[in-house]
Structure 1
Amino acid sequence: MSHTRRHFLSRTAQAGMALAAASSVGRAWAKSGKPLRILVGFPPGGGSDVIARLLQEPLSSMLDVPVMVENRPGAGGQIAAQQLKAAQPDGSTVFLTHDHTISILPQVVRNPGFDPAKDFVPAGGFASFVNCLAVPGSHPAKTFSEYVQWVRTAAQGRSAIGIPAPASTPEFLVQQLAQHFQLDLVAAPYKGSAPMIGDLMGRQIEAGIGSVQDFIEYQKTGKLRVLAVLGGQRQKAFPEAPTFGELGLAGLEDMPYYGFYAPHGTHAAWIQRFSLALAEAVARPAIRSQLEQLGLTVGAMTPEQLQQRERAYTAAWQTIIRKSGFQPQ
């Protein structure tokens, strides 16, 4: 038998054993009747919460256990992350989160109360997305250029831009916009996207930066107008909105990600079972379609792929944060 053939059979056998172990762990867990708790670090009604509740039923069906969504909002996901660290590594708790809590918070908060590399283990990813700048639907600016001109004239060069959390990707973006366009722009932090959007629609603030999934439904109804997006290409949901790269801001092409994390020490076979269930869930046509309608670019990531994605994004924003002169607080 050739070396290549033996290597293939060995890899196949290893994969089969891993799947069998995952299945065994899954059956034992299902028999225990212990529910799965999905922690969400933002308030009900926000993009992360909507996604968690969309995945709740298919994950419950595939894992054969009850699944509950538990909102622990505050500090940009920091509270939920601390809850995950304190959870038992028995397969009963996962944290649905995006780039901010995992990649940004540890760089901008001196003592966040958790270390993703030591306290968490990736359990699988399922999507990437972009952040956007939007104005109220009643705002006179129809394009980003008109918004810049509005700030310079009607607002006398100074205006606030809402952001869903302090020391976040949107806050550093506000800083870059201010520098590039020579405007006095101030980031106005909120406790999540939902209250920010409420103030946007009421024109208590004249612009906001959030994720595509936060803004997409309001864009459809005309209550908000997306003027520009991050990422390397325009988005299907907002084809008229240019990328910030098109507007002259380089280095904003790397797209944020969504994934699940479990407490450190969670059984590897359980992690694999969860990852497989997640991949099957987002492959369901109905689920995939609903996620895409939220503006997500859907694609299952293994725990290893999620970890690679996390590291790349962290490195990209480490450069931006360092250049900004921001000091961890």
Structure 2
Amino acid sequence: MHTRRQFTIQLGCLGALGLGRVAQAQPNDLARLLVGFPPGGSTDNVARRLADKLRGAYAANVIVDNKPGAGAQIAVATVKDAAPDGATLLLSPPAPFTVYPYTYRRLPYATEDVAPVAMVCTFPFALAVGPGVPASVRNLQDFVAWAKATPAKASFGSPAAGSTPHLVGSLLGRMAGFEFTHVAYKGDGPGLQDLMGGQIASYSTVLGSYLPHLQSGRLRLLAVSGTERSSFAPELPTYREQGYPALDMAEWFGIFVPARTPAALVQRAGDAVRAAVAQPDFARGLAEFGMTARSSTAQELGERLRTESAQWRTHVKNIGFTADT
């Protein structure tokens, strides 16, 4: 299913373009930034902040166009079919390209239908427990021991079945050797309410979703993903530190365009995105959601996609999950 040609784009030998030169060469009066989720969520919030920075620099006007449904598949299919003129961009997490090819039998797009442009930000996953778990459980080792001793209570929620947080939780149960029962929710809102109300024992999602609730005392963070601790919760040890190095994956958002987009336009879009991400107020805005502004070249993003796709292919096979019913 995956080949070395995936995500390959003909970048050519182009010199770096400064933001000023980007602004002088606008091919479009209007650019659309597609988002595969409804307004108000984290992806939408990042998209709107990015659109503000691109407006006037990349195109005279940049609008956010929400195309929710099927875990962002509709948005990906939309950008696949868009004209390759630089006027249609997609802001997306990696799952539609790194996870869905292994959990869905059929997709309305192929991974080679889009070309990577640049990364925008990164943020880790985290595991939390609520009042349904004894107060004596303070770390991942304690939790695994408790889950093995009380398997009927060992449940975890996630924002959706087949979401990356769901798969991270399933991997933890498999690696630690206990039955970790999954409860799927429609978003973090209801899931976190049940966690803090004691209806489920634990919850797996991105770290930023927990931050507004930490002062309530109704949830306790046990572990965070990533190769190093998060600056947003520096006291929280990583999965790796607690004996689970395979769970060091992190979530991110990246920009994509139709695969047929000429190299010069891909380069131009990447330069504009990197200039936007480098602005201090953009980074401060993302920090409100527990995200770190971080960009990349198109080649770096393409390589990351290939690496993570290979990893998730193995993980999904080991978990045995399928999104098809």
TM-score (norm 2): 0.82
Q: Spell out the pairing of 1:1-329 with structure 2 (5 A cutoff).
A: 15-16=14-15, 23=22, 26-29=25-28, 33-34=29-30, 36-117=31-112, 119-136=113-130, 140-141=134-135, 143-145=138-140, 146-148=142-144, 151=147, 157-219=152-214, 222=217, 224-326=219-321, 329=324
Letter in 1 for 2:117: A
CA RMSD, 1 decimal: 3.0
- Stretches of structure 2 lacking an aligned partner (at least 5 in a row): 1-11
Contact 1:18–1:269 (CA<8 Å) still a contact in 2? Answer: no
Cα distance in 2 for residues equivalent to 1:273 and 1:95: 15
**What secondary structure, in the 3-state scheme, does the structure 2 residue paired with 1:73 have?**
coil
Letter in 2 for 1:230: S
Contact 2:132–2:201 (CA<8 Å) still a contact in 1? Answer: no
Give CA-to-partner distance per residue, 1:262-305, whole Å, 9 cap, x none: 12222322222221111111111111122234333332211111
Q: For the structure 1 residues 138 and 222, does the alpha-carbon distance in structure 2 shift closer, same or farther, using more than 3 Å as the test?
A: farther
**What secondary structure, in the 3-state scheme, does the structure 1 residue paired with 2:210 have?**
helix
Q: For the structure 1 residues 27 and 177, does the alpha-carbon distance in structure 2 shift closer, same or farther, using more than 3 Å as the test?
A: closer
Q: For the structure 1 residues 140 and 197, does the alpha-carbon distance in structure 2 shift closer, same or farther, using more than 3 Å as the test?
A: same
Contact 2:156–2:203 (CA<8 Å) still a contact in 1? Answer: yes
Q: For the structure 1 residues 41 and 321, does the alpha-carbon distance in structure 2 shift closer, same or farther, using more than 3 Å as the test?
A: same
> In terms of mean alpha carbon deviation, does 189-198 or 205-214 score higher?
189-198
TM-score (norm 1): 0.81
Letter in 1 for 2:121: A
Determine the structure 1 residue equivalent to 2:7: none
Contact 2:22–2:272 (CA<8 Å) still a contact in 1? Answer: no
Cα distance in 2 for residues equivalent to 1:178 and 1:90: 46
Letter in 2 for 1:28: P
Note the C-alpha offset of 1:137: 7.5
- Choose 1 or 2 for highest CA Rg: 1
- Stretches of structure 1 lacking an aligned partner (at least 5 in a row): 1-12
Q: For the structure 1 residues 107 and 244, does the alpha-carbon distance in structure 2 shift closer, same or farther, using more than 3 Å as the test?
A: same
Q: For the structure 1 residues 59 and 88, does the alpha-carbon distance in structure 2 shift closer, same or farther, using more than 3 Å as the test?
A: same
Which structure: greater helix fraction? 1
Contact 2:286–2:293 (CA<8 Å) still a contact in 1? Answer: yes
**What secondary structure, in the 3-state scheme, does the structure 2 residue paired with 1:205 have?**
coil
Contact 2:22–2:58 (CA<8 Å) still a contact in 1? Answer: no
Contact 2:22–2:57 (CA<8 Å) still a contact in 1? Answer: no
Q: For the structure 1 residues 148 and 23, does the alpha-carbon distance in structure 2 shift closer, same or farther, using more than 3 Å as the test?
A: closer
Contact 1:37–1:67 (CA<8 Å) still a contact in 2? Answer: yes
